[in-house]
A and B are shown apart, each in its own frame.
Chain A
């Protein structure tokens, strides 16, 4: 899976979890400050990324991911 596909998948997940239009999500958007995610939704995002991409994210490292592009990079790294 290339980064473009991952980016699309990440935005799809964010759209579903936060209830926003995936097409309006900016690559540099911060989950909390720009997209309005609360603590619980941040964890839901991690859970949803894991399910969407079939990966296991390290608990502590996953919570460090705060932006769309950060999530894309992290997932790309996980997918090898």
Chain B
């Protein structure tokens, strides 16, 4: 591309159209140059203007020609087909092809900046010690290692050094308004890099940050948003007066309705409205929708916060330095409160106010209640609740990310080996408590109380769940083998598939991996001579090992539960596991169905048929809620029952 200076005729025409320049020699243009499209502009410093052709379609279908109107530009490059109208002033900005800027007060880069890259957030611990350097390609898994593996300083140093190198590549003195991006009715945008296809409409102030987008999934920043020191990845929508200070927003996130956050990270598909977040590690699918909710200094994922959910990280001793861990799939009820440090097991529900500190991570799928100021856990209660099943089905369907490049690696599923390992831990803990032989009404386990009466029955529920986990995993393996199942060679094949070891499981903010895979990953990162791209490759490899690791864990667990040596796995045992799975899965469905049916009993009809008798209430209820037979979830459970039978029969035929 060859720029040229303006001719005297062109300068005259521009001046006639209300344009001025500190020095017209500083203004260069590309052919064909159409002066008609530049009106009331003020130029200073070095200005380059591309071909202002084509049209921009504004709201209501109003078409305008590309061009520059009623704005001031200093040291800016305007690529082809750009439309700028009433931009107070822009300094050190490159406007890429087809970008559109209307009614913006200030768009400027002031000296050298990294646009939010390299910014350190005090995640999890306000008082410091877990600083997370953010950058525009950060993933939940990299953040997880950096924030939580502080015991491994070599790993943290390595990752930090790779990020430092990357941040240098993002450093500059010029900002960008990306290809086909649109900025309208905004206030001050200072030191902000705007990626392709991004839409910023009505933002009040954006300072020191990056907003990313792609054709499939632009980030959208809406009215009244104030963001200072931030990164926002593709596909995220920040709207309605959200206030972000020192924040990282991953892909497909929704933040709106005056939500305020500081020193917090939100990964894929998080939703945050109305409330407040501080030093939060919001892993994928963290959702807080209601007012008066404060999420602070905690690790969450697949989490749902009821209205008025609160936590404290302060014991009024050495400062706000405590932290909480809610393993994946936890829900906290309305007005629930927890005092950190506390840890809650996966897929549990927390109700009431908990002012003591407890570690309930040994008990997944639990209900945690407050009884007369005491935290009481009912393990395994959430195994068969309809809410748990519905949640597990809705998450994969609600993946909003459309960017082909997805940074966060996510494993879904409910009865996974990750859950299975925790279920076994729960069973073991319940057995140990039972073995105490105490006659006390409540027994204490790591700071939380369990009703003695419930030890046996909760263990039975876990037993049912582990049978589902093992059978499901085994079936998946058999189904992947398809017609290759040969009963004679199966034992050998399975034993070969059971390497390497997969003893315990880790949830790296959405990605499930066995400990050995995580250890291997960390060793590779430490030994790496390469850059952050290699870390992504390694993470992807670890992610893809899931099925193999799941099979390995399943085999080892079956051997352990059936007291077999690592060299034996008779087909008869496999058939037994499948039979147990069928029985437990059908039983679980039945219990889940019973829970679902509570939604149709007389109590749930209170409020229906407002001015009528029972018949009208019934009719009103059916009109709004439908009958159980018409309910899609109940129908799905019934279909699943048939599927359980047919899957079992199909595999059994092959095994026999």
Contacting pair A60 B381 (CB below 8 A): no
Which interface residue of B367, B460, B598 has the most chain A CB atoms within 10 A? B460
Cα separation A51 to B590 with both chains bound (whole Å): 24
Cα separation A33 to B594 with both chains bound (whole Å): 15
Comparing B207-215, B448-456, B530-538, the segment that makes contact with chain A is: B448-456
Cα separation A63 to B264 with both chains bound (whole Å): 43
Q: A48-B453, A60-B594 are in contact. Are A40 and B378 (CB under 8 A)?
A: yes
Cα separation A64 to B384 with both chains bound (whole Å): 14
Which interface residue of B369, B453, B464, B587 has the most chain A CB atoms within 10 A? B453
B650 within 8 Å of A (CB atoms):
no
What's the least CB distance linking A79 to chain B, in Å?
18
Chain A residues with CB below 8 A from B436, complex form: none
Set B378, B453, B594: member contacting A51, Cβ < 8 A: B453
Chain A residues with CB below 8 A from B369, complex form: 40
Q: A40-B367, A40-B378, A50-B456 are in contact. Are A59 and B594 (CB under 8 A)?
A: no
Contacting pair B603 A33 (CB below 8 A): yes
Name B593-649 residues within 8 Å CB distance of A.
Answer: 594-595, 598, 601-603
B337 within 8 Å of A (CB atoms):
no
Cα separation A47 to B378 with both chains bound (whole Å): 12
What's the least CB distance linking A49 to chain B, in Å?
10
0/1 string, A5-39, CB within 8 A of B gives 1: 00000000000000000000000000011000001
Q: A40-B378, A43-B378 are in contact. Are A59 and B461 (CB under 8 A)?
A: yes
Chain A residues with CB below 8 A from B385, complex form: 39
What's the least CB distance linking A74 to chain B, in Å?
15
Name B433-492 residues within 8 Å CB distance of A.
Answer: 451, 453-454, 456-457, 460-461, 464
Name B384-398 residues within 8 Å CB distance of A.
Answer: 385
B521 within 8 Å of A (CB atoms):
no
Chain A residues with CB below 8 A from B456, complex form: 47, 50-51
Chain A residues with CB below 8 A from B590, complex form: 60
Contacting pair A59 B602 (CB below 8 A): no
B591 within 8 Å of A (CB atoms):
yes
Cα separation A40 to B381 with both chains bound (whole Å): 8
Chain A residues with CB below 8 A from B461, complex form: 59
Name A52-76 residues within 8 Å CB distance of B.
Answer: 58-60, 63-64
What's the least CB distance linking B463 to chain A, in Å?
9
Q: A60-B590, A64-B594 are in contact. Are A47 and B367 (CB under 8 A)?
A: no
Contacting pair A43 B457 (CB below 8 A): yes
Contacting pair A47 B454 (CB below 8 A): yes
Contacting pair A47 B591 (CB below 8 A): no
Chain B residues with CB below 8 A from A32, complex form: 601, 603
Residue in chain B with minimal CB distance to A52: B453
Question: How many B residues touch A, CB cutoff 8 Å?
Answer: 22
What's the least CB distance linking A24 to chain B, in Å?
21
Cα separation A60 to B460 with both chains bound (whole Å): 11
Contacting pair B591 A59 (CB below 8 A): yes
Cα separation A40 to B377 with both chains bound (whole Å): 10
Chain A residues with CB below 8 A from B603, complex form: 32-33
Chain B residues with CB below 8 A from A39, complex form: 381, 385, 595, 598
Residue in chain A with minimal CB distance to B602: A33
Set A33, A51, A59: member contacting B460, Cβ < 8 A: A59
Contacting pair B457 A47 (CB below 8 A): yes
Contacting pair A43 B454 (CB below 8 A): yes
Chain B residues with CB below 8 A from A43, complex form: 378, 381, 454, 457
What's the least CB distance linking A30 to chain B, in Å?
10
Residue in chain A with minimal CB distance to B584: A59
What's the least CB distance linking A7 to chain B, in Å?
21
Cα separation A32 to B369 with both chains bound (whole Å): 19
Chain B residues with CB below 8 A from A60, complex form: 587, 590-591, 594
Chain B residues with CB below 8 A from A59, complex form: 457, 460-461, 464, 587, 591
What's the least CB distance linking B544 to chain A, in Å?
36
0/1 string, B513-542, CB within 8 A of A gives 1: 000000000000000000000000000000
Chain A residues with CB below 8 A from B378, complex form: 40, 43
Q: A50-B456, A50-B457 are in contact. Are A44 and B451 (CB under 8 A)?
A: yes
Chain A residues with CB below 8 A from B587, complex form: 58-60
0/1 string, B356-386, CB within 8 A of A gives 1: 0000000000010100000000100100010
Chain B residues with CB below 8 A from A50, complex form: 456-457
Chain A residues with CB below 8 A from B381, complex form: 39-40, 43
Chain A residues with CB below 8 A from B367, complex form: 40
Contacting pair A47 B594 (CB below 8 A): no
Which interface residue of B381, B385, B591, B602 has the most chain A CB atoms within 10 A? B591
Cα separation A40 to B457 with both chains bound (whole Å): 12
What's the least CB distance linking A12 to chain B, in Å?
14
Residue in chain B with minimal CB distance to A56: B460
What's the least CB distance linking B352 to chain A, in Å?
12
Chain A residues with CB below 8 A from B598, complex form: 39
Contacting pair A46 B457 (CB below 8 A): yes
Cα separation A43 to B603 with both chains bound (whole Å): 19
Chain B residues with CB below 8 A from A44, complex form: 451, 453-454
Cα separation A33 to B453 with both chains bound (whole Å): 23
What's the least CB distance linking B19 to chain A, in Å?
73
Cα separation A70 to B591 with both chains bound (whole Å): 18
What's the least CB distance linking B416 to chain A, in Å?
22
Cα separation A44 to B457 with both chains bound (whole Å): 9
Name B525-580 residues within 8 Å CB distance of A.
Answer: none
Cα separation A3 to B602 with both chains bound (whole Å): 30
Contacting pair A63 B591 (CB below 8 A): yes
- Contacts A/B (CB < 8 Å), 10 sampled: A32-B601, A33-B601, A33-B602, A39-B381, A39-B595, A39-B598, A44-B451, A47-B451, A47-B454, A59-B591
Q: 6 more A-B contacts (CB under 8 A) besides A33-B603, A60-B590?
A: A32-B603, A39-B598, A40-B378, A46-B457, A59-B587, A59-B591
User: 4 closest A-B pairs (Cβ-Cβ)?
Assistant: A47-B457, A60-B590, A47-B453, A60-B587
